[in-house]
Structure 1
Amino acid sequence: MDRVFLSPPNMSGREQEYINEVFKSNYIAPLGEFVNKFENSIKSYTSTKDALALSSGTVALHLALRTLGVTQGDIVLASSFTFMASVSPILYEKATPVFIDCDESWNLSPELLKKAIANLPKKPKVLVLTHLYGQASKMNEICEICQNEGIALVEDAAEALGGFYNGKALGTFGILGAYSFNGNKIITTSGGGMLVGDENLVEKARFYSTQAREPLLHYEHKDYGYNYRLSNILGAVGVAQMEVLEERVKAKRAVFEIYKNELVNELEFMPELENSRGNRWLTTGVFKEKGAHIRVIEALAKQNIESRPLWKPMHMQPVFKGALSFTDGTSQELFERGICLPSGSCLKPQIQERVIKIIKENL
């Protein structure tokens, strides 16, 4: 049987047509017309002030911290229930991460955020907030806390393009936000990312992303930078993918609804906040019985179907042993019971039926 992936790429638009245009122009890299078009499509879709196409979502977060002046000794708050790439850039800048647990929304708890701020030895400089699995965090409360405390908000919206809260695009509430176009995301450029937000900060990030070269005829450098920009070929893929983003969101949400309706007695699914629309990048849920998720994952694997546990929280990771965290056991409980189900936007109904059948047979 062919492998069924968790969230495979879906190339069914005009990707090849646009790639052919790039090759005809011989403007392969660096940058080019399609990188500009890709940035403009993100700006238009999200109504953000500026956008910068980059080689990954991780480097978008790194540039966000760099442009905000995060450095050694600074405290950076971060969602604990997330993927390592969300918090690695904190280490790149030699800052100190402090992890905040989630609440019933599965995203960062505003109450624990307030507790952390009140009990830290000095004021945090930045909060890196993850919109987990494409679902909105409690942005009203979190934005108010950050504004009142003078903490810069950076949104890790790597999984959340196509998601909205109160009609506003996820990734555009903070001073800066980051999207990912990795191969498993709702749209993909194979690898890639986008930094969005404040024009002055994005322009500063643009400077750092091209080796911090001064605008002179010769190569002049007063600061150091990185080789972080996206190629024109991948920009072409991104333009084509953006044309079908809404179709992908509808498909992902339809996959979720089928799982939810068919497995209502077997799983408790990740909730969706009122007045929000998540992109349901992955359909995720928790079993009542501890260990059931492993049994189901193994049963699916025997049928060549990929599924995974939920993210292991950052405060439980060996690399962050001893790091300060404000937790109440919520994310640990989710990790010990939760599963990510095959959620491709091109998932065939008969395959989804097989997944549902296997789950029911192994509980």
Structure 2
Amino acid sequence: MNDDIVNFIRDIYKTKQFIPLHAPTFSNIERKYVLETIDSTYVSSVGAFVHRFEEQVGIFTGTAKAVATVNGTAALHVALYAAGVRANDLVITQALTFVATCNALYHMGAKPVFLDVDRETLSLSPNSVKMWLENNAERDEKGCRYKYSGQTIKAIVPMHTFGHPARLDELSQICNEWGIALVEDAAESLGSFYKGKHTGTYGCFSALSFNGNKIITTGGGGMVLCKDLEGGKHVKHITTTAKQPHPYEFYHDEPGFNYRLPNINAALGCAQMEKLNTFLELKRELAQSYHNFFENSEVQCVKEPSYAQSNYWLNAIICPDKEYRDEFIRITNSAEVMTRPIWQLMHRLPMFSSGLRDDLQNSQWLEERVVNLPSTPVELSI
């Protein structure tokens, strides 16, 4: 099986060279827009491409306001801050996530509560959240609190793993019942839809990423999706150092962030957005090819949930056990076909080891079995 998958992937990408997990795809339009930016001299945070990129993403996702940031972690930091998260607050999230989710909390002084995921979605389980709150929380006129310390439970942060949407209706209902903000870590899910509505538009604020390995890239970059226009205006204000407009004076009316996306990066993003629908189509074709290849094997493909349309940012398989996973990764990588395990669970990392958590049964099961496969979109002819 392992030798077969190496040959299969090489047939897809038509190369005997190293095959990365996910590479950016550029053409002349990116070069054209970047050169326009250089020629204009507006390469930093002031320039037409920033506004254009925000508009493109806002229209595509259907959000009230999209605000560009320097990277996805900055976008999540601002989203959490705008949602009211402050130092010593508790934030419910998943242990099965990329470390950026928790880094944003760490640098705010907020504390993560690690709860389990669903095996179907690989994202935060509403059942786990509901059970933990019933056993550990209480709600009063000031909000939701952890009954053993009095700390405010301020937000719930699902991460749409590999672009597969979490069960957002149920999570939204839990947030409404307990008076907790929903903030989506939608970093990996541009182009993913939950019941016909784009991910990142259920939370009061949400974060996208445009890192070099994402479905579209600005080199580095992120975007805050804002559910209402007024909240979006405030996010734009604080990400641009909270400076009040003036011809020459520097007056800042509240603490702010210098998280502005440079115009030269936004130029890349504008070009990439023009290709997004094509990338999504190619990714679905690639995912289907993997599904067909593994159909009668002991390996299970991670597929979009029945209620969702996923972007299939990274294709993933679930191996029978850890030994199979380790051998699969060893053989593919030694053949210069890049595969990788899923992330180590966050509570295993030293800076987050003291975080509150449930039994994380599904998370630990998946940690031992999930492997990502090369997922760069490509025209298929096999």
Q: What range describes the TM-score normalised by the shorter chain of this pair?
A: over 0.9
Whole-angstrom distance in 1 between the partners of 2:374 and 2:324: 17
Q: Does 1:281 align with 2:321?
A: no
- Seen in structure 2, the aligned counterparts of structure 1 residues 14 and 194 have a Cα distance that, compared at 3 Å, is same
TM-score, length-scaled by structure 1: 0.92
Which letter does structure 2 place at the counterpart of 1:293?
Answer: R
Give the aligned partner of residue 187 of structure 1.
216
> Unmatched 5+ residue regions in structure 1?
351-363
Contact kept in structure 1, 2:286 and 2:380, CA below 8 Å: no
Whole-angstrom distance in 2 between the partners of 1:284 and 1:275: 19
Give the aligned partner of residue 58 of structure 1.
73
TM-fit CA distance, 1:70: 1.5
Give the aligned partner of residue 237 of structure 1.
268
Which letter does structure 1 place at the counterpart of 2:198?
Answer: A
Which letter does structure 1 place at the counterpart of 2:328?
Answer: V
- Residue 119 of structure 2: which of 87, 104, 108 is its match? 104
Contact kept in structure 2, 1:112 and 1:327, CA below 8 Å: no
Question: Which stretch shows the higher mean deviation, 318-327 or 217-226?
Answer: 217-226
Which letter does structure 2 place at the counterpart of 1:284?
Answer: A
Secondary structure of 1:291's partner?
Answer: helix
Contact kept in structure 2, 1:13 and 1:240, CA below 8 Å: no
Which letter does structure 2 place at the counterpart of 1:277?
Answer: Q
- Residue 5 of structure 1: which of 20, 23, 33 is its match? 20
Contact kept in structure 1, 2:82 and 2:205, CA below 8 Å: no
1:256-279: CA deviations, max 9, x gaps? 111111112131122322231000
TM-score, length-scaled by structure 2: 0.88
Whole-angstrom distance in 1 between the partners of 2:90 and 2:294: 42
Question: Which stretch shows the higher mean deviation, 21-30 or 155-164?
Answer: 21-30
- Seen in structure 2, the aligned counterparts of structure 1 residues 247 and 28 have a Cα distance that, compared at 3 Å, is same
Which letter does structure 2 place at the counterpart of 1:234?
Answer: N
Q: Does 1:209 align with 2:239?
A: yes
1:233-256: CA deviations, max 9, x gaps? 111110110111111111111111
Secondary structure of 1:87's partner?
Answer: helix
Q: How does 1:1-363 map to 2 (within 5 A)?
A: 1-12=16-27, 14-105=29-120, 106-118=122-134, 119=136, 120-121=146-147, 122=150, 123-197=152-226, 198-216=228-246, 217-264=248-295, 265-346=297-378
Question: Which stretch shows the higher mean deviation, 217-226 or 298-307?
Answer: 217-226
Whole-angstrom distance in 2 between the partners of 1:36 and 1:248: 23
Secondary structure of 2:298's partner?
Answer: coil
Whole-angstrom distance in 1 between the partners of 2:379 and 2:333: 17
Secondary structure of 1:179's partner?
Answer: strand
Contact kept in structure 1, 2:190 and 2:215, CA below 8 Å: yes
TM-fit CA distance, 1:138: 0.7
Number of residue pairs the alignment of both structures matches: 350
Whole-angstrom distance in 1 between the partners of 2:244 and 2:48: 22
Whole-angstrom distance in 1 between the partners of 2:63 and 2:320: 41
Secondary structure of 1:195's partner?
Answer: strand
Contact kept in structure 1, 2:209 and 2:223, CA below 8 Å: yes
Contact kept in structure 1, 2:115 and 2:360, CA below 8 Å: no
TM-fit CA distance, 1:174: 0.7
Whole-angstrom distance in 2 between the partners of 1:258 and 1:316: 34
Give the aligned partner of residue 142 of structure 2.
none
Question: Which stretch shows the higher mean deviation, 265-274 or 182-191?
Answer: 265-274
Contact kept in structure 1, 2:237 and 2:243, CA below 8 Å: yes
1:319-343: CA deviations, max 9, x gaps? 2112101234111111111100111
TM-fit CA distance, 1:212: 2.4
TM-fit CA distance, 1:173: 0.8
Whole-angstrom distance in 2 between the partners of 1:13 and 1:280: 25
Which letter does structure 2 place at the counterpart of 1:243?
Answer: E
Which letter does structure 1 place at the counterpart of 2:311?
Answer: N
Secondary structure of 1:78's partner?
Answer: strand
Whole-angstrom distance in 2 between the partners of 1:327 and 1:184: 32
Q: Percent of aligned positions with the same letter in both sequences?
A: 37
Give the aligned partner of residue 357 of structure 1.
none
TM-fit CA distance, 1:347: 7.4
Whole-angstrom distance in 2 between the partners of 1:137 and 1:12: 33
Computed over aligned residues only, the root mean square deviation of the Cα atoms, in angstroms, reads: 1.6
Whole-angstrom distance in 1 between the partners of 2:73 and 2:114: 18
Question: Which stretch shows the higher mean deviation, 87-96 or 223-232?
Answer: 223-232
> Unmatched 5+ residue regions in structure 2?
1-15, 137-145
1:23-45: CA deviations, max 9, x gaps? 22222222211111100001110
1:157-182: CA deviations, max 9, x gaps? 10000000111001111101111000
TM-fit CA distance, 1:348: 6.6
TM-fit CA distance, 1:222: 4.1
